[in-house]
Amino acid sequence: MFKLTKPQKLSVDMKKKASSSSTTMAFQRGDRVEISSNEKGFEGSYYTANIIARLSKKEYIIQYRTLLKEDGFGPLREVVSADQIQPLPPQIPVTGFSLGDAVDAYEKDGWRRLLSPWAF
């Protein structure tokens, strides 16, 4: 999978969900991560955030980097399940991709998985 950051900049999607292993990944305060959304209409999208605090093995307080509070003032903070958190993917340059490749495209403050409409 590829993450489309700009029409000609791609990075390999090497993400590993915390829930996919037998041991839960432990994140530290200040870690920059991605949060997968399970909110209706936003399933499959994910957003960058920072870890604010670890509440338990299964819950963290996070602060989104691109989402604001409902009043529009300041970044949104939420308590999320550890299985919604994944580390940021490594930024590996990719020289091209083919029509139909799965890519993660940045749209409306978050990432969404798409099939590539372009070939390079």
pLDDT digits (tens, 9 = 90+) for 5-26: 444 333 444 444 444 444 567 8
What are 67's strand-pairing partners?
none
What are 51's strand-pairing partners?
62
Confidence of residue 78 (pLDDT cuts 50, 70, 90): very high
Sign of CA dihedral 38, 41, 47, 53: negative
What are 107's strand-pairing partners?
110
Render pLDDT for 47-63 as a digit per residue (tens, 0 to 9): 999 999 999 999 999 99
